[in-house]
Amino acid sequence: MSDALRDRLPNFEAGHVWLVGAGPGDPGLLTLHAANALSQADVVIYDALVNEECLKLASSDAQLEYAGKRGGKPSPKQRDISLKLVEYAQAGKRVLRLKGGDPFVFGRGGEEALTLVEHSIPFRIVPGITAGIGGLAYAGIPVTHRDTNHNVTFLTGHDATGIMPDAIDWAGVARGSKVIVMYMAMKHIDTIAKRLIAEGRPVDEPVAFVCDASTDKQSVLETTLGDAAKDVEASGLKPPAIVIVGEVVRLRKGLDWYSALKDGHSLVPDPLGVRSKGESA
């Protein structure tokens, strides 16, 4: 980073909290603001989805504190994490709350920021690349493509209690969204798939599970809505995962650049079989 650019980045002031998105995993997807925050922070409180390679950008003097939440495992309560941010800031620390993906996309960043407001703590939000877009891009799956869809729905596969959220209008999602991107849905995929099929989605509609997206451990399972539950169980894949439902999954045969660069396999120029000889407008 040039000195001229570095000088234009904000100063991380004592007693402030920055809520920063670390992206889906690849450290190269950190924003300049995120890297700047890591270089200045006194305390870095990071979650379970942050690639620890990102933490190597932190100052050698920084205090690194894990505050990850994992379903079914002992985890700190959200209120306690929020209040810890307040405590460190009130002690005059520069506090970086580092979250996988984006803080405002199923990241509870809003909850934490409102706690800071409650205690008059100044803060900054630094958006990150959410896994539902960036992670799928590393799997060669675009969330929109004009030959398949003009809308996309992002949803979470479980609510605050850990069960499939009843507050979602599943019938409306099934009928109204050509592409569905689901966070934290692997655990309930059997129930979710059956619900979507009952609401009219085709049994053979393409589905993909992308685990450890954008990292060296990335793995992708392509299946169908009808077979999703049994196939993911047979695969042995574990969260974190992004699940996508829709015809865009078929584009992976042509757009799986990440795997192609690693193993040299050929990509298909017309995975949907819709391209004409001439370029469309």
* Residues tagged active-site: 47, 69, 184
Shortest CA distance to 246 belongs to which of 105, 166, 130, 150?
A: 150
CB contact at 8 A, 134 and 29: yes
**Count of residues making up the chain:** 281
List the structure tokens of 261: 């660069």
Integer Cα distance of 10 and 35 in angstroms: 11
* Cβ within 8 Å of residue 62, ≥6 positions away: 38, 41, 42, 43, 44
- For residues 186 and 41, what is the distance between their CA atoms, to the nearest angstrom? 34
Q: Which residues of 244-262 are buried (b: 16+ CB within 10 A; e: fewer)?
A: bbbbbbbbbbbbbebbeee
Find out whether 190 and 172 touch, Cβ atoms under 8 Å.
no
- Residue 53, C-beta contacts closer than 8 angstroms, at least 6 positions apart: 27
Which tokens in the block code for residue 60?
Answer: 């050698």
